[in-house]
Amino acid sequence: EDKVVQSPLSLVVHEGDTVTLNCSYEVTNFRSLLWYKQEKKAPTFLFMLTSSGIEKKSGRLSSILDKKELFSILNITATQTGDSAIYLCAVESRGSTLGRLYFGRGTQLTVWP
């Protein structure tokens, strides 16, 4: 039973488009939600969200958390081919052992020139 569900699983867009990636979760005693970007190597950290309604932003990427509705979105504006990657969402529960994360299956984003 998935605790973290990402949608869509796959997305193809053209350069310049804006995309929204979704992550819903179901964990008890939520602590934090993290977004990672994975190209053909190590997942790299993008954002950690702990509070509802506070947008985190880094360049063209932004993310927000809704703890009432139990989801987060990751927005990418003016997409570039370099944004092509798997985007991973992960959640930590306060009750989880030792800071373990529960990952979603990821969204494969492909940006065509």
Partner 1 sequence: DVKVTQSSRYLVKRTGEKVFLECVQDMDHENMFWYRQDPGLGLRLIYFSYDVKMKEKGDIPEGYSVSREKKERFSLILESASTNQTSMYLCASSLGRGNIQYFGAGTRLSVL
Q: 37 vs 79, which CB is nearer to partner 1?
A: 37
Segment interacting with partner 1 (CB under 8 A) among 22-30, 52-60, 68-76, 93-101: 93-101
- Torsion, Cα 77 83 80 74, to 10 degrees, reads -10
Q: Single out the residue of 49, 106, 109, 111 in contact with partner 1 (rule: CB under 8 A).
A: 106
Residue 68 touching partner 1 (CB under 8 A): no
Minimal distance in Å, beta carbon 81 to partner 1? 21
Q: Sign of the C-alpha dihedral, residues 98, 68, 60, 15?
A: positive
Residue count, binding to partner 1 (CB under 8 A) = 24
Binding mask of the shown chain, residues 16 to 45, with x at each position contacting partner 1 by CB under 8 A: ---------------xx-x-x----xxxxx
Listed residue (11, 16, 8, 22) closest to 79, CA to CA: 16
Q: Which residues contact 107 (CB under 8 A, 6 or more apart)?
A: 6, 7, 8, 9, 10, 11, 21, 86, 87
Q: What are the start-end ranges of the H helices in 6-88?
A: none
**Residues that bind partner 1 in the complex, under the rule CB under 8 A:** 9, 31-32, 34, 36, 41-45, 48, 88, 90, 92, 94, 97-101, 103-106
